[in-house]
């Protein structure tokens, strides 16, 4: 697990497990977050869910599950947090997995 003073713990690449990644991607709301981050890093405050009624605490928990599984990186940036998909690391660990999941999320005829 890697951490810095102002950072949350993230698993090292070698510690990322397939079962944790698949669990993290099994929830539609978490998958929605991953799809947004596939386009590039995003400030946590700008990351949104389809349901605007989702409480902030639930949104934070969704991010925590993704971070602890090694799917995203969540680091301090100024007064906020920056989220990014750990795509390169995930592609090295599980070649093609994230691409296939994102293509399936996008729907038929895409990808």
Domain boundaries in the chain? 13-105
CATH architecture for the domain at 13-105: Orthogonal Bundle (1.10)
Does residue 84 contact residue 37 with C-beta atoms inside 8 Å?
A: yes
Q: Is the pTM of this model over 0.75?
A: yes
CA distances from 67 to 1, 21, 75 (A): 11, 10, 10
24: nearest Cα among 86, 66, 67, 87:
66
Strand boundaries in the chain, DSSP class E: 42-43, 72-77, 80-85
Say what the pLDDT of residue 36 is: 93
The mean pLDDT values, 10 residues at a time, for the chain of 111 residues are 70 97 96 94 84 87 96 92 95 97 78 49
């Amino acid at each position: 697990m890697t951490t810095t003073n102002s950072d949350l713990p993230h698993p090292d690449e070698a510690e990322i497990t397939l079962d944790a990644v698949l669990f993290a991607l099994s929830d539609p709301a978490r998958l929605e977050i991953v799809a947004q981050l596939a386009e590039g890093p995003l400030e946590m405050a700008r990351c949104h869910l389809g349901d605007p009624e989702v409480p902030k605490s639930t949104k934070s928990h969704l991010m925590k599950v993704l971070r602890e599984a090694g799917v995203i990186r969540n680091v301090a940036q100024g007064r906020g947090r920056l989220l990014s998909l750990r795509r390169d690391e995930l592609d090295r660990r599980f070649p093609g997995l994230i691409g296939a999941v994102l293509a399936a999320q996008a729907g038929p005829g895409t990808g």
